[in-house]
């Protein structure tokens, strides 16, 4: 592992090195929320309307490792609809090995489920989320969401959890994840969900990829919220790839 002023060259890191660099805290007594985003150098969260347009090989490797480590992938319904989210794929041997080392993963090697936050429950039962998943997808929604939509999702094999009346508060969301015993939380966005969780001081860390590209245009940034806040963060590491990609890990101070 070659260190240059606290930065690490990605080339030469093994999967085990990466897993250690991104391990969740060992003993968790509550959900620990890690967010993962990619941004262009000029701060865009999308290119061509999707985050995929910003992905680089290094970003894809870390994205996959973060999924391997997590108990659950939390995502806002806007992202699920925009990106046509399917279930997570994971290597069962790797998930078991990570579990045995106490870094994350899963005892039986199962992939982490996707948990979608939606006030409206407006998720298509025929969408990839429901039809292309090997772990039971979870929809965290409200009592006010139309009953027929919730029933259609249940019929499509989704676990529907009501965690609020007309919206789900960050506290209600974390309580629902705790009740499901899902503590290693990987939040993959989008900007509205991330901004709301930041505003409520419910984000423990941010993994941010800066893709070596400028995109201009009117794309959003990675966090959007009703109020401005000032959350100091501490740098945990910087990984550098040869193509210019910079991968950072930031923890709440």
Ligand X SMILES: NC(=O)c1ccc[n+]([C@@H]2O[C@H](COP(=O)([O-])OP(=O)(O)OC[C@H]3O[C@@H](n4cnc5c(N)ncnc54)[C@H](OP(=O)(O)O)[C@@H]3O)[C@@H](O)[C@H]2O)c1
The string of DSSP codes covering 112-126 is PPEEEE-SS----TT
Q: How far is CA 137 from the centre of its chain?
A: 14
Q: Are 130 and 149 in contact (CB under 8 A)?
A: no
CB nearer ligand X, residue 32 or residue 118: 118
Determine if 200 is a binding residue for ligand X (CB under 6 A): no
Peptide bond into 68 cis (omega under 30): no
Determine if 137 is a binding residue for ligand X (CB under 6 A): no
CB nearer ligand X, residue 77 or residue 103: 77
- Member of 51, 56, 152, 210 binding ligand X (CB under 6 A): 51
Determine if 77 is a binding residue for ligand X (CB under 6 A): yes
Determine if 245 is a binding residue for ligand X (CB under 6 A): no
Residues 7-46 that bind ligand X (CB under 6 A): 37-39, 45-46
Q: Are 116 and 83 in contact (CB under 8 A)?
A: no
Determine if 78 is a binding residue for ligand X (CB under 6 A): yes
Phi/psi region, residue 21 (left: phi>0; alpha: psi -120 to 50; beta: rest), is alpha
Determine if 160 is a binding residue for ligand X (CB under 6 A): no
Report the length, in residues, of the chain: 253
- Member of 10, 114, 168, 177 binding ligand X (CB under 6 A): 168
Piece of 8-16, 24-32, 72-80, 235-243 that binds ligand X (CB under 6 A): 72-80
Task: Name residue, tokens 């508060």.
Answer: 169
Piece of 74-82, 126-134, 152-160, 242-250 that binds ligand X (CB under 6 A): 74-82
Distance, CA of 88 to CA of 56 (rounded, Å): 19
Picking from 133, 140, 154, the residue whose alpha carbon sits closest to that of residue 31 is 140
Token pair listed for 131: 């039809």
Which residues form the interface with ligand X (CB under 6 A)?
37-39, 45-46, 49-51, 76-79, 82-83, 117-120, 122, 167-168, 188-193, 196, 222
């Amino acid at each position: 592992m070659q260190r240059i002023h606290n930065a690490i060259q990605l080339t030469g890191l093994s999967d085990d090195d990466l897993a250690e660099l991104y391990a969740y805290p060992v003993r968790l007594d509550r959900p620990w929320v890690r967010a993962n985003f990619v941004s262009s150098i000029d701060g865009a969260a999308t290119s061509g309307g999707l985050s995929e347009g910003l992905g680089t090989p290094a970003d894809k490797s870390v994205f996959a490792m973060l999924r391997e480590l997590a108990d659950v992938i939390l995502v806002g319904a806007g992202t699920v609809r925009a990106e046509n989210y399917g279930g997570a794929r994971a290597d069962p041997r790797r998930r078991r090995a990570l579990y045995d080392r106490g870094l994350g993963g899963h005892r039986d090697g199962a992939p982490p489920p996707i948990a979608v936050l939606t006030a409206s429950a407006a998720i298509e039962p025929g969408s990839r989320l429901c039809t292309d998943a090997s772990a039971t997808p979870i929809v965290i929604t409200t009592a006010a969401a139309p009953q027929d939509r919730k029933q259609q999702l249940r019929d499509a094999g989704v676990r529907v959890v009501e965690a609020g009346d007309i919206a789900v508060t960050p506290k209600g969301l974390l309580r629902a994840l705790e009740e499901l015993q899902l503590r290693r939380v990987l939040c993959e966005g989008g900007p509205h969900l991330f901004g709301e969780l930041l505003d409520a001081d419910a984000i423990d860390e941010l993994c941010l990829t800066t893709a070596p590209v400028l995109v201009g245009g009117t794309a959003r940034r990675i966090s959007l919220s009703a109020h401005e806040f000032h959350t100091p963060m501490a740098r945990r590491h910087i990984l550098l790839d040869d193509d210019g990609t910079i991968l950072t890990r930031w923890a709440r101070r």
